[in-house]
Structure 1
Amino acid sequence: MDRGLNPAAIDAAPAGAGGVTRTLRRRPILSRPLFETLPAAVAPRVQPSLERRHLWERRFRRRLDFTDTVSVTVAVAAATVVEAGPGADLADLAGPARIGAFVIAAWMVLLWLARTREPSVLGAGSAEYKRIGHATGLAFGVLSTVFILAQLPGLRAQVIVALPFGLVTLVFSRWMWRKWLIHERERGECVSRVIVAGSRDDVEYVIEKLVNDPHHAYHVIGATTTESLTEPIDIDGRQYPVIGSIRSTAAFGRTSGADAIVVASTPDDDRDFVRRLGWELEGTAAELVLCNRLTDVAGPRLSLRPLDGLPLVQVKIPEFEGGIHAIKRGMDVVLSMLALVPILLVTPLIAVAIKLDSPGPVLFHQLRVGRDGRQFWMVKFRTMGVDAERRRDALHAQNQGAGPLFKLKRDPRVTRVGAVLRKFSIDELPQFVNVLRGDMSIVGPRPPLPAEVTRYDGTVYRRLYIKPGITGLWQISGRSDLSWEESVRLDLRYVENWSIATDVMIMWRTARVMIAPKGAY
């Protein structure tokens, strides 16, 4: 009997009109019972490693949900009280309260739509804060449009009070949670357990970057390589095991409990390796990270453009003039004018301290090199004796500075007051005058001496493509404790990737460094 046919379905129908006989109808039946399935068609199920990661992510998002709701509600409630006015009773608060509830709902929805609690930005800092800013701005933009079109009153207090207060509160709460998350990651909690795959050289490069990540988001548990070598990879005295071949990455990921795979490079003879690896990791890992060697190219310059299934990574070429630079200059002028007011108030006290400590002028002028190689006189509070330049040659053999820099941790030329001024960067406050004049920017590369510039080679000249700054990545990353190569790398990274958001972040971190100085001498 044909198992694909049902004999009962063979129906010999009587002849119809004209004596034409109806065609026999065969009804197919299932060759397998209904409860059986094809193994290859079963969707991958979540493995314990992936569930463990999802668990801490959900817990963290719930905490963010709670603090975001509290921040928004408090800000809107304050605006509601302001709108109702002093001495308002419950009846007076009813109308503003309804508007406030509408604002809270819209604000929270936009925070969700903007993916401000996405795992990819948790603890990321500026990326997370920018999403919060965009969501807040869009929420009040939509609300303003709706209220204007519907001719509804009562939004003014929300815009004036709730928007700035709520935005500051949201960013501050996220900053606190970020500090908590970094602390947990330092303890080995809330991290991605990572296997790095690729050629041995590329794997070593990627592991070094991951283990030095200040956010501690990745915990490397091993590596798979294209070579047959199995010796552990040594990074800063710590060894990371090579657990097998790159073609067995997915299998090792399942057995080792990894929830993320970082592909440093792919086999030369297998162009479908990444796609196949992604399929094999379904249900096991939360993310597949592809690395490239675009060194020091920051996120704002990178964008992904899918083209018929081909993901193209676009890198924006830096520009050194235009509208964004005009905005930077405007911000420099406004902030330097605001900063000079308190600086002028404390200058007499600093001047008296400098004069009492050692004879000589209060201010120290030094020739520095600015944008496009133009020289200018940089002004600082004097921190050394008046004969400091003459004594430099005698101290040259004790130089502890990196590269062409001349630095001494215990420089005998520094006065007692000068040591205090240097430690807390107070000696650099007069440089806001240089900013106002246009010689410098608040944030930028370190302003070099002419003697340093004459020793530049190759790409180091790129530091002079934009104005030097009072502060910069070098200042918040260790200052004089940095090697020459690291100092140059930080300056070049800033030159090529700076943004207004980056400048604000550096200013904020500079204030913290001034309170707890590191590498200042």
Structure 2
Amino acid sequence: MSYSGSVRPVSERKSLSGGSSEKSPWYLPVALATDTLGIVVPVCTVFAVTRQPHPVLAALGAAAVWLGVRATHRRYAVQALGESRGVLPVLHDWLTLLGLLAVARIAAGESSEPAVALLALSAAPLVTVVCRKATHRHLTALRREAQSVHRVLVIGEPSAADDVVEHLAGRTDHAYVVTGVIPVGSGQLTSGVPALTRLGSAQPATPDEDWVPVLDVAEQLGAELVLVAPGPRLSGERLRRLSWALHDVGLPLAVSPGLTEVALRRLRSVTVAGLSLLHIAPPTRRGAHVVLKSALDRAGAALGLLLLAPVYGLLALAVRLDSPGPVLHKQTRIGQDGTPFTMWKFRTMVVDAEARRAELAAANEQDGPLFKMRRDPRVTRTGRWLRRSSLDELPQLVNVVRGEMSLVGPRPPLPDEVAQYDDVELRRLTVKPGLTGLWQISGRSDLSWDETVALDLRYADNWSIGGDLDVIARTFRAVVDGRGAY
């Protein structure tokens, strides 16, 4: 069965008006050149300075292996270029490189010093990460202006279609721009995207009653993807026949299962008795990963306390000299599973700050149960600097060592905030609160309450050791930037 109309193949269609659906052509050559130079230059230099044998040959060989590892992991695929700025994939590639070179060194009887070789290779992941970040930033800027994006036609019952449209429109860090909607049934759309035709509520008498109008609209809009939000009126055999018609003209089909904020690693597709099923793994709440996270948290916090001891002394002196009162401020916060604990931080407010909170309630700039003021009169001069730099949070390393907090997790809430939580917001308490988290690297106090909750729930359901390391790495930039810290 095929559709014999005049619909052109996807490859012949026009790209989005005013821009191109293709990524910038320089992404691949720049990535290849950067990865090559990130190996060749430091290896040649270090080997030459330390008088290691065959510096040029070693550099070229290491570069070839590095490019091979990255290509095998599909880092140079068009779909991957510019899409991520994460550190962990690069680290994974680099460790693979070290393993392969170690084997090659033994097999070839190479006599260079291992420590020197490791030093020479250490620049490669740093250079690659910088390149990835620059490419990602460029691609994100293009997509804000509707460049390097793909036209998407959404099909589904009005409420489901509106939900898909709103989710895609809420962010600009992806390649999908919805240019049209085909609602199923007579309900009204609220997203504002034009509906150029409709499909009937019931299974059509002949299949072409569905695919003819769909393919006509796809041709009219120059759609590069059809995204279906299935429901009672569009599922089973009806969806199957529509997919046949779309694929016969080379138009890709995607199906939205209605899930949000589920990490890809938790999803697994299987086919059972002819049915396509999507398995969703439960969030990690116990087991080896939780034990490892706790061990890393406590070890990292203990090391931080040891290394930062001189800084603690200087900050304590600054707080004491700036205003009367204790150096440390303690508060009761709510931890994992609703367990209260005493949280410590350097004092950033005057001593009677809690008593004065009621009189400032009308000036609250946050929605939801949080209380935040951009220019809170209770904050001391030193306190403003401590808050902007997040140094006031350092005493919470003690809470991490004690197991009450984690290095990464949701913001630890106050008891009166938790008293206002609904069932959804209470899910924030299924993991330990953190010294840093997605909220800190995403804007901190500039976020709305709904945005804060969404980030915390995303973390609680999808956390991983690798994700924690990525958040910690990105926290340093957020602290330097200071955005949303007040």
TM-score clears 0.5: yes
Letter in 2 for 1:511: F
Q: Which has the higher contact order (CA 8 A, sep 6+)?
A: 2
**Partner of 1:410 in structure 2?**
375
Indicate whether 1:82 and 2:46 are aligned: yes
Q: Percent identity?
A: 38
Indicate whether 1:190 and 2:148 are aligned: yes
1:413-424 maps to which residues of 2 (within 5 A)? 413-424=378-389
Cα drift, residue 363 of structure 1: 1.2
**Partner of 1:16 in structure 2?**
none
- CA distance in structure 1 between the partners assigned to 2:370 and 2:447 by the alignment: 11
Contact 1:115–1:131 (CA under 8 A) maintained in structure 2: no
**Partner of 2:205 in structure 1?**
none
**Partner of 1:25 in structure 2?**
none
Q: Which moved more, 1:246-255 or 1:201-210?
A: 246-255
**Partner of 1:100 in structure 2?**
59
Letter in 1 for 2:73: A
- CA distance in structure 2 between the partners assigned to 1:58 and 1:123 by the alignment: 9
Indicate whether 1:73 and 2:37 are aligned: yes
Contact 1:474–1:491 (CA under 8 A) maintained in structure 2: yes
- CA distance in structure 2 between the partners assigned to 1:197 and 1:412 by the alignment: 53
* Residue in structure 1 matching 2:220, options 247, 255, 260: 255
Unpaired stretches in structure 2, ≥5 consecutive residues? 200-209
Q: Secondary structure at the match of 2:416?
A: helix
Cα pair distance change 1:130/1:412, threshold 3 Å? closer
Contact 2:181–2:194 (CA under 8 A) maintained in structure 1: yes
**Partner of 1:20 in structure 2?**
none
* Residue in structure 2 matching 1:437, options 397, 402, 416: 402
Contact 2:15–2:222 (CA under 8 A) maintained in structure 1: no
Letter in 1 for 2:245: E
TM-score (norm 2): 0.85
**Partner of 1:427 in structure 2?**
392
Q: Which moved more, 1:504-513 or 1:205-214?
A: 504-513
- CA distance in structure 2 between the partners assigned to 1:440 and 1:293 by the alignment: 33
Contact 1:144–1:155 (CA under 8 A) maintained in structure 2: no
* Residue in structure 1 matching 2:13, options 46, 49, 70: 49
Contact 1:46–1:283 (CA under 8 A) maintained in structure 2: no
* Residue in structure 1 matching 2:268, options 292, 300, 303: 303
Contact 2:284–2:463 (CA under 8 A) maintained in structure 1: no
- CA distance in structure 2 between the partners assigned to 1:276 and 1:157 by the alignment: 61
Count matched residues.
471
For 1:230-257, what per-residue CA distance to the aligned partner results, in whole angstroms no more than 9, with x for missing partners?
Answer: x6643xxxx3111212533332122211
**Partner of 2:69 in structure 1?**
110
Indicate whether 1:243 and 2:203 are aligned: no
- CA distance in structure 1 between the partners assigned to 2:238 and 2:91 by the alignment: 39
Q: CA RMSD for the aligned pairs?
A: 3.4
Largest Rg, 1 or 2: 1
Letter in 1 for 2:71: W
Indicate whether 1:391 and 2:339 are aligned: no
Indicate whether 1:202 and 2:160 are aligned: yes
**Partner of 2:253 in structure 1?**
288
* Residue in structure 1 matching 2:290, options 312, 320, 325: 325
Letter in 2 for 1:265: P
For 1:323-351, what per-residue CA distance to the aligned partner results, in whole angstroms no more than 9, with x for missing partners?
Answer: 22233233323433454456433334433
Contact 1:199–1:266 (CA under 8 A) maintained in structure 2: yes
Letter in 2 for 1:362: V
1:141-160 maps to which residues of 2 (within 5 A)? 141-149=99-107, 151-154=109-112, 156=114, 160=118
**Partner of 1:367 in structure 2?**
332
Q: Which moved more, 1:390-399 or 1:280-289?
A: 280-289
Contact 1:99–1:155 (CA under 8 A) maintained in structure 2: no
Indicate whether 1:381 and 2:334 are aligned: no
Unpaired stretches in structure 1, ≥5 consecutive residues? 1-37
**Partner of 2:125 in structure 1?**
167
Indicate whether 1:470 and 2:430 are aligned: no
Letter in 1 for 2:379: V
Q: Secondary structure at the match of 2:236?
A: coil
**Partner of 2:202 in structure 1?**
none
Cα pair distance change 1:287/1:422, threshold 3 Å? farther
Cα drift, residue 207 of structure 1: 0.9
TM-score (norm 1): 0.80
**Partner of 1:315 in structure 2?**
280
- CA distance in structure 2 between the partners assigned to 1:45 and 1:269 by the alignment: 25
Cα drift, residue 59 of structure 1: 4.6
Contact 1:442–1:470 (CA under 8 A) maintained in structure 2: yes
Cα pair distance change 1:98/1:193, threshold 3 Å? same
Contact 2:34–2:128 (CA under 8 A) maintained in structure 1: no
